[in-house]
Amino acid sequence: MKKQRKCYIYTRVSTAIQVDGYSLDAQKDKLRKYAEYQDMTIVSECSDEGFSGKNIKGRPEFTRMMEKIESGEDGVDFVLVFKLSRFGRNAADVLNSLQTMQDYGVNLICVEDGIYSSKDAGKLMISVLSAVAEMERENIRTQTMAGREQKAKEGKWNGGFAPYGYTLIIGGSHVY
């Protein structure tokens, strides 16, 4: 009889979700369908909403998932993520976390990217894509800051609260 394969699914969105375009629901739906198609049992769904992929610190669900992997309490074989960038955007964190997972016999599957960490080609792709994701994160940050700087130079509002004593009017509506 074939052993039932178990998995965790991990999803994450950051404040840059408008840029990435992957809602939590869309990620979960895709991962659930993949698990069902691959005849995997989802043991737990871990989801960090509003957390940057800059590093793994401060992502409570990611931390909980890694602790569960290290304890072996659920005996999972895989962690499913929508894309590698949802797992993380810091190459060192991604590779260290992956190594820890593999030390406990757990492999990463990046469904949308078609990457499976147990294969040598998958490990190479994870190394390359995690570096690309880190560069992309830095590029988004740089572009955002340049846009804010340009708005300030043009004397336009850059967000936040109106200065004391002023009323902010956006699109004809008063914002206090």
- A 10 A CB-CB count for 134 gives 20
Options 14, 85, 97, 117, the catalytic residue: 14
Active site residue 14: yes
Look-up: residue for tokens 């895989």? 78
Torsion of CA 75, 124, 38, 45, to 10 degrees: 50
Q: Which residues are catalytic?
A: 14
